[in-house]
Amino acid sequence: MSDEQKNERPPLSKEEKRKVEKHLKEVRKQLRKNLVKAYHGWWYWRTTLKKYKKLYKNKNDINRTAVVLMPEVNDRDNYFALRYLEQMLKQHKFIKAIILTDSEMVEKSASLFSKNIHAIVRCPRKNAEELMQFYCLYNFDKRFFCASLDEPYGRNGSRIVGTRGITAEEIFVIGVYRVYPYTRLSAPDYKKPKTSQIILRSVEQEPLTDDDMKILEFLKQGETADDEAAKNPPEEPISYTAKIVSGS
Amino acid sequence: MFPVLRNGLVEICGYREYAKFKRKFGVNCVICACAWEGTGDYYICGMYMKQWVRINNVSDYKFICLDSAKQRIVELFDSNTGKTYIPDSINDYWYVRWLAVFCNIDFYWLQYNSDDPDLARGVIQQVPVGYLPGYKGLEIVDTFVYGGFNLPRDIKPEIPEFDADSKIIDELFEKTKAQFYKTVLISPFTSSLTESSPPSELWQIIINELINRGYSVLTNCAANEEPLPNAKPILVPYRHIVPFLDAAGGFIGLRSGLCDIISTTKAKKIILHPYEAKYWPDGTSLKFTGLNHMGLCDDAIEFEAAPAWGNWEQIASDILRVFSQ
């Protein structure tokens, strides 16, 4: 193959070589750091599964348990993760889920969404990053779901939101949870603890606490998805024509 | 622990290739890539590289190509001339891709897809097949422009330049004894949908009837491909293919990247979409890769096959109606 075809270049100057080596040193440093992080992520995964396996009577049930990491305190993604949890478990034939989260809201409201939560584990951001770094090393376990549109690094699901009228909710359900066909679910009713009264969003039955208000606010994520879909109608394709040049 | 070590080694292999590239091309030269074997993928990338480079202030880049044929596709767009690179072993760049998923380096995979189960952290899965391709009309150019390139919604692609050198076009017609404006070029091969080829009878009926109607019929094929019976083989270089087709009059192709490249020809262009697909859900080929739907043209005549080409006879009949006596 000719040099022209291979698009070869003249050798780098001394200064250019120095810059390259400096850059590569930074990349090596990053690689080492991320490998150590991934190792810690592997360890965290291993110890978490071991700990919650003990809670099962039948130890093999851990193999049919989804592990859902909610890495952020982002209400939108956490709401989607909880709202469609039951569908995800059914689609993938899991019996229960272990939720890893640093969000108080998730801890307080998870039971509203599903009765099949084996455990909710407080997972600080540091552990979440280590687990996600391990996930970036390879897809280590089919039970693991990283419940975020934009994490781990490189997922960039938000880039597709709005294209052809596709909502964040649809991308989450179909792309992150891999549940199909997609059927939109509205928010569950909020049943106030220690009472059998169901509280409707627009009617106050008794004074609401701060916690109640926060949970109701969280449940409103379901309404926001409707507004988003209306704002993002399908788009027209861009057209163009090629140019023909006369022969050389 | 073994998979952790094994995949750690993959990252180290990726670093080694990345370092080799940087030591050859310099610290400012970024690496751009798409699926190595996808002809259409290179074409789509070629369309948007100029805009991406401008918006991201990229001072230097190399687009990794599998071979010289793919290189010629990317360089159909003038701004990419001299910006392609064919590595000694393209498979080594798979490791660089893994490294780019693991560390923040300047390697850009310009299509949004997850085409490896172990790299399945994207939302648009293709291996194993997910259900976002084709969903609400999400088509493949969308996944490049908004997902991979991350360009604004009003961006316009670069226009490719084809060479209408009449000497070369005449030679192609002369070599095959084809007729101007009464020749149909058939492209029955595809690299990514090999399990979905139509029955050979479909091609035979079309070829024989076109010949009866006075048409010249050619098969677009490389040296290692078998031409269709009664359709002479020809390999039209990419740079001349649109002017060649403008002079020929007709194109019938199984959905492939070549269809993207010829999309702007004025010739009658018929595209056959199989039902079964390897990289997107069955039955979504038209929604995901239809030329008209992608905006590459607005005059392609596109057919979608029934499962297992159950409607091939109807398709053959409809195609023949397009080419009158």
The residues, ordered by sequence, that sit 6+ positions from A50 with a Cβ below 8 Å of its Cβ are: none
> Greater confidence, A206 or B87?
B87
Cα(A238)–Cα(B156) distance, integer angstroms: 7
- Give the H or E element holding residue A217: helix A210-219
pLDDT (mean) for B32-49: 94
In degrees and rounded to multiples of 5, residue A228 shows phi and psi of: -65, -40
Listed by number, the residues of chain A in 78-107 with a beta carbon closer than 8 Å to a beta carbon of chain B are none
> Where do the DSSP E strands lie in A83-197?
96-101, 117-122, 144-146, 190-191
Q: So what's the architecture of B166-322 in CATH?
A: 3-Layer(aba) Sandwich (3.40)
Percentage, residues of chain B above pLDDT 70: 98
Q: Please report the number of interchain residue pairs, chain A to chain B, with beta-carbon separation below 8 angstroms.
A: 202
CB contact under 8 A, B15 and A166: no
Query: Would the pLDDT of A196 be above 50?
Result: no
B211 is written with which tokens?
């010949």
Which among B4, B130, B138 has the least Cβ separation from residue A42? B4
Which of A79, A78, A81, A76 shows the shortest CA–CA distance to A66?
Answer: A81
- List helix spans (H) across chain B: 2-25, 39-55, 68-74, 92-102, 140-142, 166-176, 200-212, 238-248, 257-261, 285-289, 291-294, 312-322
pLDDT (mean) for A221-248: 46
Query: Would the pLDDT of B139 be above 80?
Result: yes
B325 is written with which tokens?
């006596």
Global pTM reads 0.90
Q: Which long-range contacts (CB under 8 A, 24 or more apart) does A226-234 make?
A: A228/A161, A228/A167, A228/A168, A228/A169, A229/A165, A229/A167, A231/A162, A232/A161, A232/A162, A232/A165, A232/A166, A232/A167, A233/A165, A234/A164, A234/A165, A234/B136, A234/B137
Task: For chain B, give the mean pLDDT.
Answer: 92
> How open is the CA angle A106-A107-A109, to the nearest 5 degrees?
65
In degrees and rounded to multiples of 5, residue B27 shows phi and psi of: -70, -30
3-class secondary-structure state, position B105: coil
Q: For position A205, what pLDDT does the model report? A: 55
Using CA atoms, how far residue A73 sits from A84, A109, A210, A211, B23, in Å, is 17, 13, 18, 16, 42
- Tell me if chain B has a CB within 8 Å of the CB of A15: no
B289 is written with which tokens?
């890769």
Task: Supply the DSSP symbol for B126.
Answer: B
Which of A236, A233, A202, A215 shows the shortest CA–CA distance to A82?
Answer: A215
Cα(B183)–Cα(B205) distance, integer angstroms: 16
Q: A62-111, pLDDT tens digit by residue?
A: 999 999 999 987 789 999 999 999 999 999 999 999 999 999 999 999 99
Which of B112, B109, B188, B105 shows the shortest CA–CA distance to B146?
Answer: B112
In chain B, residues with a C-beta closer than 8 Å to the C-beta of A155 are 121-123
